Amino acid sequence: MGNRLSKIVTRTGDTGTTGLGDGSRVGKDSLRIAALGEVDELNSALGVLLTEEMPENIRTALIGVQHDLFDLGGELCIPTMSMLGEAHIERLEDFVEQFNEDLTPLKEFILPGGTRAAAFAHLARTICRRAERNVVHLANNEEVSVFARKYLNRLSDLLFVLGRALNKAGGRGDVQWVHGKNRPAGIDLAE
């Protein structure tokens, strides 16, 4: 594996195609490459989130997720490969329960924000939903593991909960949405 990435500029994609892990070539605008790119963007967003201060148990969970997303990218890059399974889904569900346990029940919708870390978690959540939509679109046209779809669905739930947990850890509450008809004009809601 040491020499796999020794040559970065290959010029093989100059015509608008790229190679998959099985040796086949597809257009850079193919559904598979779009889904793969969304998963890569999500992983990068988690990398940005991980630059923030956070409790160690959240950091550890997110680093594990990054590794899972790289495996998911492998699945998308090699269409017949399956790397994620039920254990990955169960781990995310356990994280959701664990991190949600100490949060107050929601009575209203919340807005993305609060601490920087929470805002980055919400941004990653929206990227995750987009990645999920792209993987579902791909699965409607080509074979994709059911666990890929499940994983992204559960991960977006986890990122929502982590946004709330990061606000709590940062000493901030959730940013409550106020319905337009109840929102006073000229009042700063961030107070």
pLDDT tens, residue by residue, 134-188:
999 999 999 999 999 999 999 999 999 999 999 999 999 898 888 776 666 655 5
- 14 in the Ramachandran plot: left (φ > 0), alpha (ψ -120 to 50) or beta? alpha
Q: Counting beta carbons within 10 angstroms of the beta carbon of residue 26, is it exposed (0 to 12), middle (13 to 18) or buried (19 or more)?
A: middle
pTM (2 decimals)? 0.87
pLDDT tens, residue by residue, 80-105:
889 999 999 999 999 999 999 999 99
3-state secondary structure 50-116: CCCCCCHHHHHHHHHHHHHHHHHHHHHHCCCCCCCCHHHHHHHHHHHHHHHCCCCCCCCCEECCCCH
Distances (CA, A) of 153 to 24, 68, 127: 29, 14, 12
Tokens of residue 146, six digits = 């059911």
The span from the CA of 182 to the CA of 179, in Å, is 5
Whether 123 contacts 47, CB under 8 Å: no
* In CATH, 25-174 is 2.40.160.40: no
